[in-house]
Amino acid sequence: MEVRTRFAPSPTGFMHLGGVRTALYNYLFAKKMGGKFILRIEDTDQVRLVEGATDVIYDTLRGCGMQWDEGPDVGGPCGPYVQSERKDLYMPYALQLVASGHAYYCFCTEEELKARRDAAQARGEVFKYDKHCLNLPKEEVERRIKEGQPYVIRMNCPTEGESSYHDAVYGDMIFPNDTLDDMVLIKADGMPTYNFANVIDDHLMGITHVMRGAEYLSSTPKYNLLYDAFGWEQPKYVHLPTVMRDSTHKLSKRDGDAYYSDFIDKGYLTEALINYLALVGWNPGDDREFFTMDELIEAFDVNRLNKAPGIFDVDKLTWFNAEYIRRLSSEDYLKLAEPWFDKVLHGKNMDYARLAELMHDRTEVFCRIPDMIRFLAEMPEYSVDLYTHKKMKSNPEVARSSLALCLPVLEGIPESEWTEQVIHDRVMAAIADAGLKNGAVLWPLRIAISGMASTPGGAMEIAYLLGREETLRRVRAGQAMLENA
Ligand code: GLU
């Protein structure tokens, strides 16, 4: 039997990280088993439609390297793969259920339902549809439909006994049937509900394994009743625990940590994100941590999915990301870093390739670059205390003579010779001639031209990047500051 999995997102305009992980596990399992990964767009809730939302889904999945074998835009034998394009297909199935007594027409209006819901609430009960329209005489139903009264078609759930099924992650699930609600299958506008279309499509598309968020655990008995009513084989179920920020909070869009795009926009690498997401809810059974997509496919095992909620730890992700950045080639790093350099250095004539070399190993996430290099664009305000450094044997008084030593040396280097090597050789020679300790000169020099206790590169590198004119200006400004200290 060929394994067929599907990712069935509703187009909301964003891809939640939990959704990306669901897609990933579906993809990994299908590929591992030599099966098919199918993409289906569940857009029957026309009220919630967002323009361009399907592109967000396509771009995210493709960006992550999860190409679907069947789906909208690539087609396949079970198309169309967008539910709104299949809308005429569901009604005959609903009518089949009406005929067999597994479903019925319901004419209750919103107001009537609300009144009964309020009354139930007042009695302290949870409202579920009371089967009010279940036994309407056939003639009445026909008459009301003919008169054009709005109706929905509801599922007729059993009220006694219990329903059970096996879930690959959660084990045996048992639900008393009297908790099942007679859910709507076809809405008043003729469109199927998500709940109905999902079952019909999973069957018609030959889905063998339904892998989705744990929030569907309790609806699954109703889906199974539908499979049974049609005499169809139920798929295998693999429900996935929620992805959480910590033990009590879900990832939330308000905190800017819920969507795939939040992280990509901040300069996280897709490969790092996918690698880390795979481990939020699954483990390889050994202590391996780094996986390419192919390695994930190779290692993936449904039996190693966790039942406990997965904690999405941004610090851990950042650690992965830094490691992936470190492994980039210099060219790739420069290409990715350039837009972040531009954010603060735009218009400045600076050696980006050299800056990239200095920044490469220090970059954990690209969005942190601007703060780290802003001093190159603009001298920050800084405290004279920075000149004091015990180990470097520097203090404001030492700094005064160090800058006095450096300034003429730097002034003596013509613009055309302003390279790191020349700056280095001249400054080091001057330090040696004066019989001083390197730190006592280089620390104050670096402070004067950067205003920062910690910088990518040392005094020579920074002086080179800043250029002659700006370096001299900053050294003089440092002298002036120390004068008044
Ligand atoms: N459209 C549903 C969602 O986005 C899919 C649920 C399922 O995979 O069955 O949550």
CA of 236 to the centre of ligand 1 (A): 16
Please state, in angstroms and rounded to a whole number, the distance separating the CA atoms of residues 350 and 346. Answer: 9
**Paired tokens of 6:** 């599907």
Atom 2 (ligand 1): residue with closest C-alpha?
9
Q: Does the pLDDT at position 31 exceed 90?
A: yes
Residue range 207-215: mean pLDDT, rounded: 97
Q: What pLDDT shows up at residue 216?
A: 97
CB atoms within 10 A of CB 42: 16
296 falls in which pLDDT band (50, 70, 90)? very high
Give the pLDDT band (50/70/90) at residue 230.
very high
pLDDT at 377: 97
Q: How far is CA 136 from CA 109, 117, 133, 178, in A?
A: 15, 21, 6, 21
From CA 253, how far away is CA 262, in angstroms rounded?
Answer: 9
- Counting from 1 in the atom list of ligand 1, the atom nearest the Cα of 202 is 9
How much distance in Å is there from the Cα of 485 to the middle of ligand 1? 66
Cβ contacts of 359 within 8 Å, gap of 6 or more: 337, 369, 372, 373, 456
Report CA(184)–ligand 1 centroid distance (Å): 17
Distances (CA, A) of 445 to 114, 219, 356, 381, 470: 75, 68, 22, 16, 13
What is the pLDDT at residue 253? 77
135 CA from centroid of ligand 1 (Å):
32
**Can you list the domains of the chain with their CATH numbers?**
4-81+244-317 (3.40.50.620), 84-240 (3.40.50.620), 379-484 (1.10.10.350)
Residue with the smallest CA separation from ligand 1 atom 4 is: 9
End-to-end CA distance of the chain: 81
- pLDDT at residue 426 in the model: 98
Q: Which atom of ligand 1 is nearest to the CA of 7?
A: 8
Query: How far is 43 from 49, CA to CA, in rounded Å?
Result: 7
CB 421 within 8 Å of CB 360: no
Tens of pLDDT, residue by residue over 278-289, are 999 999 999 999
Is the CB of residue 60 less than 8 Å from the CB of residue 54? no
User: Ligand 1 centre from 19 Cα, in Å?
Assistant: 9
Hey, how many other C-beta atoms are within 10 angstroms of the C-beta on 168? 15
Confidence of residue 276 (pLDDT cuts 50, 70, 90): very high
Select the more confidently predicted residue: 485 or 57: 57
Higher pLDDT, 174 or 49: 174
Distance of alpha carbon 78 from alpha carbon 81, whole angstroms = 7
Q: How confident is the model at residue 485 (pLDDT cuts 50, 70, 90)?
A: confident
User: What pTM was computed for the model?
Assistant: 0.94
**253 in catalytic set:** yes
Please tell me the total number of residues recorded for the chain in this structure.
485
What are the counts of helices (DSSP H) followed by strands (DSSP E) for the chain? Answer: 19, 11
Percentage of the chain lying above the pLDDT 70 cut: 100
The band of 49, judged by pLDDT with boundaries at 50, 70 and 90, is confident
Report whether 198 contacts 223 (CB < 8 A): yes
Q: How confident is the model at residue 47 (pLDDT cuts 50, 70, 90)?
A: confident
Testing ligand 1's pocket by substitution, the residue of 4, 7, 10, 50 carrying the most ligand atoms inside 8 A of its CB is: 10
Judged against a pLDDT cut of 90, whether residue 256 lies above it is answered with no
- Mutate-to-test residue for ligand 1 from 198, 202, 226, highest number of ligand atoms within 8 A of CB: 198
How much is the average pLDDT of 175-191?
96
Largest CA distance in the chain: 111
Q: What is the mean pLDDT of residues 292-303?
A: 98
Each residue of 344-356: b (16+ CB within 10 Å) or e?
Answer: bbeebebebeebb
Pair 300, 32: CB distance under 8 Å: yes
pLDDT in tens, 126-144: 899 999 999 999 999 999 9
- The DSSP element (H or E) to which 96 belongs, if any, is helix 90-99
How far apart are the CA of 29 and the centre of ligand 1, in A? 17
Ligand 1 atom at minimal distance to the Cα of residue 198: 9
pLDDT band, residue 252 (cuts 50/70/90): confident
Closest CA to 7 of 15, 72, 19, 302: 19
Q: Characterize 139-157 residue by residue with b for buried, 16 or more Cβ atoms within 10 angstroms of its Cβ, and e for exposed.
A: eebeebeeeeeebbbbbbb
Could you identify the atom of ligand 1 that is nearest to the CA of residue 6? Answer: 8
Q: Which atom of ligand 1 is nearest to the CA of 212?
A: 8
Mutate which of 27, 29, 216 for ligand 1? The one with the most ligand atoms within 8 Å of its CB, which is: 216
Task: Tell me the pLDDT of the chain averaged across its residues.
Answer: 96
Give the atom of ligand 1 at the shortest distance from the alpha carbon of 22: 8
Residue 287 DSSP class: S
pLDDT tier, 259 (very low <50, low <70, confident <90, very high otherwise): very high
Backbone angles phi, psi at 310, to 5 degrees: -85, 130
Residue nearest to atom 5 of ligand 1 (CA): 8
Which H/E stretch holds residue 174?
strand 171-176
Q: Is the pLDDT of residue 257 over 90?
A: no
Closest ligand 1 atom, residue 42 Cα? 1
Give the tens place of pLDDT for each residue, 374-400.
Answer: 999 999 999 999 999 999 999 999 999
State how far Cα 195 lies from the chain centre: 26
Q: How far is the CA of 45 from the centre of ligand 1 (A)?
A: 12
Percent of the chain with pLDDT over 90: 95
Q: Where are the alpha helices (DSSP H) in 305-385?
A: 314-326, 330-345, 352-359, 369-377
pLDDT at 218: 96
Name the token pair of 113. 């339902």
Give 457: exposed, middle or buried? Use CB within 10 Å, 0-12, 13-18, 19+.
buried
Q: Are 153 and 184 in contact (CB under 8 A)?
A: yes
Per-residue exposure over 367-389, b if at least 16 CB sit within 10 Å of its own CB, e if not: ebbeebbebbbebeebeeebbbb
Q: Which residue among 212, 240, 242 has the greatest number of ligand 1 atoms within 8 angstroms of its CB, and so is best to mutate?
A: 212
Does residue 47 or residue 113 have the better pLDDT? 113
Give residue 341 CA to ligand 1 midpoint distance, Å.
Answer: 40
Q: What residues flank ligand 1, with Cβ below 6 Å? A: 8-10, 42, 194, 198, 212, 216
Residues 6+ apart with CB under 8 A from 426: 409, 410, 412, 413
> How far is residue 37's CA from residue 375's CA, in Å, rounded to a whole number?
49
pLDDT at 227: 98
Catalytic residue among 253, 307, 335, 437: 253
